[in-house]
């Protein structure tokens, strides 16, 4: 059994940019090779990937300490020994540092005063390890001292976008490249930079393991209708759901709400969804927020289709939401409460009780982050 400590070393079989040249995003389809591996996964599962840090950043940190990278590092968490360079590549969080590291810096700072705790948190949130090494004196700081103070590099999790009943020796992912600007510098998400920019197709080892979902999966009864709400990369598991429903000849109805910015550039897996719609296997409602003057999101499409959606719920449909937890999932939940009140003739308290019952019955399931 593969795990975080003993991952399977896969390779990228395919990496395809799905977004158009005029898109403001870069979203990729990945196929990871698991040929010959004893890996079994279910639709709704995720994979954990153990990324590598950016080699340019690793090299710059080694230079800041005037080190060679060959220094021996003993990892107290695992009782293993690494070279300094390997530790920085594979084990250390280089994007975020904590107070224990800040205390190692030679220059005293009033940010360490108790009353400045909030200021210190904000400062560390906007400065990476390399930023701090460049800004502060590090004379006498050894590689071992540095590594001892760093937080661990954590796995990155991605929803599986394929059914093993269709792709027996592959795992598909839908990955949006993450970039952002802090203090005038462009920075990248560690996991997506590794997968989209640094890893070489066919050669770079991709350490991975399956993260099972205990609840976010298809209904056991194949005749049960399903309502899928997945804007952006949140649509990934629903590609797997529908591949499996088609492969197993499930008779239940399928309905997808998908949203993105522009239909011309950001309609991920367009041919797959429209192909299913064409043969009557999928009802498809689309919300492209930038295709018209007013912003339209998936929750607006839900309200537009409130009568039909309520009807499906009365038929026993399971409703799934995947994607952004901060705003989208809350807006979808509010729309669902509104539909329960307006179409079910329920007051506010009764509406809340109805939605709570859906959750209890595992008919309203979320995979949000």
pLDDT band at 107 (very low <50, low <70, confident <90, very high): low
Q: Which range marks the domain in which residue 99 is found?
A: 55-149
Query: What is the count of structural domains for the chain?
Result: 3
Query: 316 in the Ramachandran plot: left (φ > 0), alpha (ψ -120 to 50) or beta?
Result: left
List CB contacts of 184: < 8 A, sequence separation 6 or more.
Answer: none
Taking the model in full, what pTM does it have?
0.95
Mean pLDDT across 193-216: 97
* Domain annotation covers residue 3: no
Q: How far apart are the first and last CA of the chain?
A: 26
Cα–Cα distance, 358 to 351 (Å, whole number): 11
Q: What is the CATH number of the domain that holds 309?
A: 3.40.50.80
pLDDT score at 231: 98
Cα–Cα distance for residue pair 255/265, rounded to 1 Å: 22
Q: Is the pLDDT of residue 137 over 80?
A: no
Lowest mean pLDDT among 99-113, 114-128, 178-192, 201-215: 99-113
**17 and 107 together in one domain:** no
pLDDT of residue 108: 61
Q: If you average pLDDT over residues 90-97, what whole number do you get?
A: 95
What is the C-alpha separation between 328 and 229, in angstroms, rounded? 10
Point out the domain boundary residue: 163, 186, 211.
Answer: 211
In a domain, 133, yes or no: yes
Contacts of 13 (CB under 8 A, 6+ apart): 31, 32, 33, 170, 201, 202
Domain assignment present for 15: yes
Q: How confident is the model at residue 102 (pLDDT cuts 50, 70, 90)?
A: confident
Question: Averaged over 201-223, what is the pLDDT?
Answer: 97
């Amino acid at each position: 059994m593969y795990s975080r400590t003993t991952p399977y070393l896969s390779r990228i079989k395919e990496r395809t940019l799905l977004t158009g040249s005029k898109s403001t995003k870069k979203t990729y389809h990945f196929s990871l090779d698991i040929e010959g591996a004893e890996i079994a996964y279910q639709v709704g599962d995720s994979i954990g990937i153990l990324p590598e840090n950016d080699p340019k950043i690793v090299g710059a940190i080694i230079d800041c300490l005037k080190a060679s990278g060959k220094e021996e590092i003993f990892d107290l968490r695992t009782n293993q020994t690494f070279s300094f360079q390997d530790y920085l590549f594979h084990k250390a969080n280089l994007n975020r540092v904590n107070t224990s590291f800040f205390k190692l810096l030679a220059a005293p700072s009033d940010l360490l005063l108790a009353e400045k705790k909030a200021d210190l948190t904000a400062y560390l949130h906007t400065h990476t390890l390399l930023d701090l090494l460049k800004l502060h004196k590090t004379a006498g700081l050894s590689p071992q001292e540095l590594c001892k103070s760093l937080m661990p590099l954590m796995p990155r999790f991605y929803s599986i976008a394929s059914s093993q009943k269709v792709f027996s020796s592959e795992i598909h992912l839908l990955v949006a490249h993450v970039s952002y600007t802090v203090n005038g510098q462009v920075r990248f998400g560690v996991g997506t930079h590794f997968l989209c920019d640094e890893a070489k197709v066919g050669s770079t080892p991709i350490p991975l393991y399956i993260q099972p979902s205990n609840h976010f999966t298809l209904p056991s009864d194949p005749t049960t209708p399903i309502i899928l709400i997945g804007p952006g990369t949140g649509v990934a598991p629903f590609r797997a759901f529908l591949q499996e429903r088609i492969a197993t000849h499930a008779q239940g109805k399928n309905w997808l709400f998908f949203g993105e910015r522009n239909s011309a550039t950001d309609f991920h897996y367009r041919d797959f969804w429209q192909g299913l719609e064409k043969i009557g296997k999928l009802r498809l409602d689309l919300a492209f927020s930038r295709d018209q003057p007013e912003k339209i999101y998936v929750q607006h499409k839900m309200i537009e289709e409130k009568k039909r959606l309520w009807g499906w719920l009365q038929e026993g449909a399971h409703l799934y939401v995947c994607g952004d937890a901060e705003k989208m999932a809350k807006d979808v939940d509010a729309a669902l409460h509104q539909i329960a009140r307006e179409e079910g003739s329920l007051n506010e308290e009764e509406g809340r009780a109805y939605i709570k019952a859906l959750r209890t019955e595992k008919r309203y399931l979320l995979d949000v982050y």
